Amino acid sequence: MNMLESNGTRLIVHLPVELDHHYTEEIRKEVDTRIQAEPIQELEFDFSRTVFMDSAGIGMILGRYKIMRALDGQVVLKHMSRQVRRVLTLSGIQKVIPLDKEEEAV
């Protein structure tokens, strides 16, 4: 499965099992390149495979949020496990990016 998937003006980022400083730079570069090359209006982060995330992951998401906001776009967070949702909630990220209300991923 490719990490990035385009669906019209939506770019879906399929995040890895561990979203930490080892992976965030690669994700950041690939997403930023796509945002510059295509008319992206919605950036979706798909956490369905992610079981661990640290502050580097939160920082990467917030950085993409700022870019999308400047482009009048939006960021969507989907398919979070309880643990990932808890990390995101504790970070306060839901104050700027709503957490998806769907059934939690296992």
Band (106; pLDDT cuts 50, 70, 90): very low
On whether the CB atoms of residues 44 and 65 are closer than 8 A, the answer is: no
> What average pLDDT does the chain have?
92
C-alpha–C-alpha distance, residues 77 and 9, integer Å: 16
pTM as predicted: 0.91
Q: What is the mean pLDDT of residues 71-95?
A: 95
Other C-beta atoms closer than 10 Å to the C-beta of 65 total 19
Looking at CATH, the fold of the domain delimited by 4-95 is given as Transcription Regulator spoIIAA (3.30.750)
